[in-house]
Structure 1
């Protein structure tokens, strides 16, 4: 079900890129990811405060994470399919309106059960973030630049994770915890205005020069609108490799997002504004890893490597960067733990940047959103299992995070091995 491995740049002579409109599109997508992560992470920063005030248990909070992952995974499956049909522009618009409504609903509940219900529309809307972004990237970037573009927008997750612990405690201390959800949710409407005014496909955009459009269209894939049945996509090893990779690595990232403030509070006594410095340091490292991972595979491509080995070699490097996090639970000082966890987050982002190229590299344009949705569903399923595992471990060990970090440390090497065994060559999937 696959063709032979693709050679660098598909043996096509390079066309000199002209124009920068595609990078403005990339920045807007980056900003959307920032906002999505701010909205989903407000609750994790508020968790120590809300848990003390409203008597939340560790397993109750784990259920908030678990059900978010469940709805997020289902939403991924639906969103990928819809976005393949209606396109990135309308899809992203509807998604952000839905998740903003859910985010603001958090302000009217106080129990973990109430938070679970408020997170249903949040999860459904945010599930469209990456399918819509990947479809837009596939519209605007050729393979030579795709990993770097994905790395940049993927870095938005880390920026959101940096900004949230800086602004949320300040808002809470000034206006109360409920306004944390209202004020951060209102930022989405500014983004929506920019998105609706600016985004078009390359051939329809007045700012895109003929040279830039020619550069974007150097890819060999035919850009057409078709239906991609699940029955055909799921017969390809490429789809299963992508889904398996997401199933193994996404849980680690979600665990960090949901539990790091609690880890620093429990292990080192961090409170309120004190969360800012360690979380900022961690996610700045993650940003560097995201961009470096995308740059690294692009560098390998330019050096004459095949796409197969360029993507997998970059993933191997980033998987090794994660390994030291196994010792984070035993760190004698907070900043040692920060460095170890920061390296793990950098490794995750660099690894996922290359894994996220699968829908665009290996599938026809009209199927990329559906494949991204399937991967998101697989990642959410893994995230649910990890959330339950984390809750049980922390409840029974009275807050010992060491087992969680040990499991996280080996997830990426395991994911790379599984991806390679399922899809030994980076060949285009045949779904026609």
Structure 2
């Protein structure tokens, strides 16, 4: 279910990226105006994350996730009514608000259902949905747009999220609410009872561990936003690809990203099973990902399309392996009752970074038309981020939060 939701999430947000070179011609926006439309999504995503994690921690994964995907389903459909820069920006803003709940809810569900040694792999599997979505979009969108019009592409993804919502409400329960879960299975998971108590950001930000996730996401998330929203434009501008020709290169790039997401999570889990500490395993896997990403600095000047695809595909694989481990840092260092809030804080920082880079890219392209500085930034950001992570959390020491004790008579019926 988490994999499906993340796939739909990224399919929804990638529809505009696939159609962008051609909507730009049809509607008439320039590079800077397109950056404003992208920034509207990221601004709403950041605003949504200010409250999404806290709401999910308060009301529970089941209800919180349902509210999130219900909103983004309506917002995706709303794109079909857009006619210009302002209306597209409004639709993107609404989509960003809804989609902000996906990762806090998904990471919290992983923390609820998986023991520590399995969380990175579980996160890698569901996070691979971001790549599956980025693959589905270039496969589905051109065909639907050519046959029924670009509006139908947005309506199609809206229907997918509505179907998921019904399935989620029918199936998801926490370990404490799942009657088919045996005592041995619950002990294996290490089930932590729910308190229904929200941990305020002000308390979380007192800990360096929270700033670790915030810094990692702020530095590296903008690079992923660039890959999502600007790659179709780069391939169209650099190699002259048409709408139907964009599909295969984008599919190849995000297939590699899919492999990276699962492999990055698997590698950390494998190292832990070999006796490495969680600290060494996470950072060791992240270091491998950094080296996969660095060669992307040469992509802007690649003489052949498929050389550029290979370099960018390695970078997206590295990013997704990195991301699977960064998300898991939250559950390594914080109790489950605070995980969604911490992930929300990190996502907020990443969205703010994405807003900044979108404006910078728009200004650069409007002035120079060159992608070289952007790819140089993409290739160097992760090494800087890893150094910052190690400086802030050299041992990934768990945080002990000061919370009221859980009442003895408490039953886990909050829906969390």
Tell me the equivalent position of 1:407.
377
Q: 1:213 deviation in Å?
A: 2.0
Q: 1:431 deviation in Å?
A: 2.5
Match of 1:397 among 363, 368, 379: 368
* Structure 1 alignment gaps of length 5 or more: 1-27
* Equivalent residue pairs, number: 402
Tell me the equivalent position of 2:78.
105
Bigger drift between 263-272 and 200-209 goes to 200-209
Pairing of 1:5-404 with structure 2 (within 5 A): 28-217=1-190, 224-398=195-369, 400-404=370-374
1:223–1:364 Cα contact (<8 Å) kept = no
Query: Secondary structure of 1:272's match?
Result: coil
The RMSD of aligned alpha carbons is 1.2
2:222–2:350 Cα contact (<8 Å) kept = yes
Aligned counterparts of 2:336 and 2:193: Cα–Cα separation in 1: 7
Alignment TM-score, normalising by the size of structure 2: 0.95
2:176–2:193 Cα contact (<8 Å) kept = no
Aligned counterparts of 1:146 and 1:224: Cα–Cα separation in 2: 22
Residue 394 (structure 2) pairs with residue 424 (structure 1): yes
Distance 1:207 1:332, change over 3 A: farther
1:222–1:365 Cα contact (<8 Å) kept = no
Bigger drift between 183-192 and 156-165 goes to 183-192
Alignment TM-score, normalising by the size of structure 1: 0.91
Aligned counterparts of 1:351 and 1:240: Cα–Cα separation in 2: 17
2:41–2:94 Cα contact (<8 Å) kept = no
Bigger drift between 167-176 and 202-211 goes to 202-211
Aligned counterparts of 2:346 and 2:373: Cα–Cα separation in 1: 26
* Structure 2 alignment gaps of length 5 or more: 403-416
Per-residue Cα deviation, 1:57-114 (whole angstroms, up to 9, x for no partner) = 0000001111211110110111011000011110111111111111111111121211
Aligned counterparts of 1:71 and 1:40: Cα–Cα separation in 2: 13
Per-residue Cα deviation, 1:32-63 (whole angstroms, up to 9, x for no partner) = 00000011111111111110011110000001
Aligned counterparts of 1:430 and 1:202: Cα–Cα separation in 2: 23
Per-residue Cα deviation, 1:304-323 (whole angstroms, up to 9, x for no partner) = 11111110111011011100
Aligned counterparts of 1:202 and 1:289: Cα–Cα separation in 2: 29
Tell me the equivalent position of 1:11.
none
Aligned counterparts of 2:33 and 2:364: Cα–Cα separation in 1: 13
1:107–1:182 Cα contact (<8 Å) kept = yes
Query: Secondary structure of 2:246's match?
Result: helix
Per-residue Cα deviation, 1:361-397 (whole angstroms, up to 9, x for no partner) = 1111111111111101100111011101111111111
1:68–1:123 Cα contact (<8 Å) kept = yes
1:224–1:365 Cα contact (<8 Å) kept = no
Per-residue Cα deviation, 1:253-272 (whole angstroms, up to 9, x for no partner) = 00110000001100001111
